[in-house]
Amino acid sequence: MKPPSPPVVWEIDIPLATNPRLLKTLALVSGLAALISSLFMSVILGAQGDWDDIPPLVGILALVGLGLFVSFVLIALIVFGNRLRTRYTLDAQGIHQETIDRTSRLVNRLTVLGGAASGQPGPTGAGLTARARESERLDWRGRFSLQVQPRAHRLIFRNAWRPLMEVYCTPENFAQVEALARHFMHRHHTSERTPARSPLPSYLGHSVLILLAAFMLFTVHDEFDLDLFAPILVMAFALATLWLIPLFGYVVLLVNAGILVSLVLAALEERTSYIRPQERYRHYEVFSDADWALLGFSLLALGYLSWLAWRAARGRLLSRLMRDQDDLTGSGD
């Protein structure tokens, strides 16, 4: 039977704190926040030899992650009343999802204003991200497959590694929406363009290499008088380049250039001999084999980070976020 003609428009209250899928997502976000913070601090402390300080810090950050999860659930129950009013529009081009809940929109704007007023980028970024997701569009020209959950009246559109959009239907229109989605996906060969293999292992591999490279840069902090803030900045922006915004690669390149100049100047620095005060020497002239090895590994780390940042900044390596956006809309085709 030929599916009914679109567009199909409906509004629905999406459950929050009683939604198993949302609770799973909140737990994942809270866990990742604790894990990423733990990895950052472990790299910094480990490079300075403070290995004994890592386990208690990880425990504290795990409790912080648990607190975040509990806070999310309480906010969903108390502030949002355990619902999020959403409008869906399905047509021949795709599906448009709009958050029309007034409380949600107000909270997002207050979060942005509060973060900006306090000078904290975290809340500001979270608020801006939430505002951007108030209106999202999935295009049939994208690259995704369809997972159907009839009992929950839910359609899940997935790319090769994660859900891109979850569409909540009413019991009355679920069959109609599913039929239309399958019809347009078949017409546009949407599922056939979805990669069979997940790209996640490659991005996780690069993430591990970024952390190892940052670790090497932290180890030269004392020997070469390197500003501790520089490797922290490189580590943060390199991961952001890989996962979020490729243009952050230019920041990585700039900081890497500063680190390289700092290493060269430290190696060429003239020093006075403690034994013979009248004699002066260049720092590199008294390098031990370990010092040369440390410098060599640090230069390799800078080379890898610069290569990754250059590829991303020039559009040869898309961030995971950008790839997901291409899968959602087909804009990369």
As a whole number of angstroms, the distance between CA 325 and CA 193 comes to 15
The predicted-structure confidence for 27-53, as pLDDT tens digits, reads as follows 988 888 889 889 989 988 888 888 999
| Mean pLDDT over each residue of the chain, to the nearest integer | 87
**pLDDT for position 55:** 93
Q: Give the CA radius of gyration of the chain.
A: 25
The predicted-structure confidence for 63-106, as pLDDT tens digits, reads as follows 988 998 998 899 889 988 899 899 999 999 999 999 887 665 55
Q: What is the mean pLDDT of residues 146-168?
A: 95
As a whole number of angstroms, the distance between CA 20 and CA 166 comes to 13
DSSP letters, 117-159, are HHT-HHHHHHHHHHHHTTEEEEETTS--EEEEEGGGTEEEEE-
CA max distance for the chain: 96
**pLDDT for position 317:** 94
**pLDDT for position 118:** 47
Q: What is the mean pLDDT of residues 224-247?
A: 91
**pLDDT for position 132:** 55
- Residue 153 pLDDT greater than 90, yes or no: yes
